[in-house]
Amino acid sequence: MRSSRRKTDTRLTFTGNLASCPLWSPDGRRIAYQVEGPGGPTIRLASADGLGGQDSIPVPSTIGILGISEWSPGRILAFGRGQVWQLPTEGATRNATSLFDPTLFIVQGRISPDGRWLAATSGAPPGFNAFVYGLGDNPGRWQLSGGTTFRPRWTKGGREIVFESTDRQLWAVDVDTKDGFRAGAPRRLFALPMGSPGNNAVSWDCDASGETFYVTVPASAAAIGSIEVVSDFRSLVTRR
Q: What share of the chain in percent tops pLDDT 90?
A: 24
pLDDT digits (tens, 9 = 90+) for 205-234: 898 899 999 998 887 654 555 666 656 645
Give the H or E element holding residue 111: strand 106-111
Q: What is the pLDDT of residue 104?
A: 80
For residue 3, what pLDDT is reported?
A: 47
CA angle 172, 176, 181 (to 5 degrees): 105
CB 183 within 8 A of CB 132: yes
User: What's residue 99's pLDDT?
Assistant: 81
- pTM of the predicted model over 0.75: no
Q: Tell me the HSE value of 155 on the side-chain side, using a 13 A CA sphere.
A: 19
Least confident of 66-70, 94-98, 116-120, 140-144: 66-70
Q: What is the pLDDT of residue 164?
A: 94
Q: Quick one: average pLDDT of 31-57?
A: 79
pLDDT at 11 over 90: no
| Separation between Cα atoms, residue 62 and residue 163, nearest integer Å | 30
pLDDT number for residue 192? 92
Position 198 scores a pLDDT of 66
The share of the chain scoring above pLDDT 70, in percent, equals 79
Burial of 88 (0-12, 13-18, 19+ CB in 10 A): middle
Res 93: pLDDT: 75
| Alpha-carbon torsion (207, 129, 42, 138), positive or negative | positive
The answer to whether the beta carbons of residues 20 and 33 sit under 8 Å apart is: yes
pLDDT surpassing 50 at residue 42: yes
Q: Assign 26 to helix, strand or coil.
A: coil
pLDDT value at residue 1: 46
The alpha carbon of residue 122 and the mean position of all alpha carbons in its chain are separated, in whole angstroms, by 14
Tens digits of residue pLDDT in 176-208: 998 889 999 999 999 999 888 766 678 898 988
Do residues 209 and 194 make contact, with C-beta atoms less than 8 angstroms apart?
no
CB 151 within 8 A of CB 202: yes
pLDDT, tens only, 132-167 = 999 877 788 999 988 899 999 999 999 999 999 999
pLDDT of residue 202: 81
| Confidence bin at 119 (pLDDT 50/70/90) | very high
For residues 8-25, give the mean pLDDT: 71
Domain ranges of the chain: 1-71, 100-223
Separation of alpha carbons 130 and 107, rounded Å: 10
Greatest CA separation found in the chain? 86
Strands, E assignment, 82-157: 83-88, 97-98, 106-111, 117-122, 129-134, 141-143, 149-155
| pLDDT of amino acid 16 | 63
CA distance 28 to 17: 25
Domain 100-223, CATH 2.120.10 — does that match?
A: no
CA angle 211, 214, 218 (to 5 degrees): 145
